[in-house]
Each structure stands twice: as C-alpha cells, then as structure tokens.
Amino acid sequence: MTCFHNFIAPVWQIFAGNLLLLICSLFYLVWWVVCFGPDASGKTAGGSAGVIYITAAFITGIAAIVLMSGGINTLSKDAKSVPVWLILLGGTVLFVVMILVTTAVYHRPLTSELIIVHIWAVLELCAVVVLYGTGRFGLGRTVMLLTLVGIAFVAGVICYVLYYRLEGTASYRDGMAPLIIDASVMAVFLGVLAVS
C-alpha cells in the first residue's frame, strides 16, 4: 500500500487543512478540559492556559479553512460532481433553518458552536465531493466519508441543543462529544486520503 500516491498541490492542501482541523479540534478539546473540567476553577477560562489553547485552536482552524478552501476551489474546476457552490448554498440555507429551529423551537441561545459545526461539515462535504469528482475517491470511500460527516453533523447539532438543558458533568461531557467525534472523522478522512 502506497501512501500519498500522485498527490498534487490541491490534494496536499486538503490533506494539510484536514490535519490542521484535527489539531484545532484537539486544542479546542484541551481548552474545554482545562477551562470547564470538573477540576477547573472559574478563573481558568480567562487564565493564560485557556487563552493559549483557544488561540491555538483559532489559528489552526483559520489556517485549515484557508488551505482547504484553496484546494477545494482548484479541484472543483475539473471535478465532475455536484458543484461546490450548490453545497455552499445548501449549507447556508440549512444554517439559517437551524438557527430558527434551535432558537425558536428549542429555545437554545445562539452561540458560535452552531456555525463551527456547519463550517466543518460544509468544508468536509466539499472536500469529499471534489475528491470524488476528480477520481481520487471511489464511490465506496465517498459514501463512507459522507456518512461519517453526516453522523458527526447530526451528533454535533444534538449536543448543541442539549448543552444548556444539562448540568454539571453531563453538560461538560456533552460539550466534549462533538470535538471527539469530529476529530475521529478527520482521522479517518486523513487515512483514506493518504492511501487513495
């Protein structure tokens, strides 16, 4: 089995972007544990450790979005699949619907986590679709990855809605779950892409 076979620059950008998103998730997870864990004091969230971890998560996340967007944009020009603009439009419409549903129906205060869940899912969907459209992924790998992204998205939204309804350890674990699930999906994505 050969890894990184015939990787061109845009594929490397998608790979590196996913790796940075995985690192971003890990920084975010460490920040969550340090600032909101059972042993965390109220001052930790504003302390230097909290600031370092959340800053690192922010920087790696933005770098990942830039890298992946560049790779996706380049590959999409030759991809014979669903156009990226259609995925972006669908993601935008779904985001607006989710804001309305979570705030009006579930009375969940709007926080940045909802947009993070959506940006991650849309980026991953675009990457999988263009990699399929350029022949990098076969149908089996594409369906598997799309399914994993879909499961992670649904789990993230469920955890988002439940967070303020839970207390103590349950809310702490609920906040960690999407990060762990997304990191696992990205690890699978990286493995599949490396050997494609």
| Sign of the alpha-carbon dihedral angle for 173, 179, 182, 183 | negative
| Rounded distance between C-alpha atoms, residue 163 and residue 153, angstroms | 15
pLDDT of residue 190: 97
Burial class (CB in 10 A: 0-12, 13-18, 19+), 78: exposed
The one-letter code for the residue type at 33 is: V
pLDDT tens profile 129-140: 999 999 999 999
pLDDT of residue 145: 98
- Rounded to an integer, the average pLDDT of 144-153 is 98
* Cβ contacts of 44 within 8 Å, gap of 6 or more: 34, 35, 50
Task: Indicate if the pLDDT at residue 153 is higher than 60.
Answer: yes
Instruction: Say if CB 169 and CB 38 are below 8 A apart.
Output: yes
Task: Indicate if the pLDDT at residue 41 is higher than 70.
Answer: no
| Rounded distance between C-alpha atoms, residue 45 and residue 32, angstroms | 9
Question: Average per-residue pLDDT in the chain?
Answer: 93
pLDDT of residue 110: 94
pLDDT of residue 1: 63
CA angle 119, 135, 187 (to 5 degrees): 45
Which ranges of the chain would DSSP assign to H, the alpha helix? Answer: 9-36, 48-76, 84-100, 112-133, 139-162, 168-194
Confidence tier at 45 by pLDDT (50, 70, 90) = low
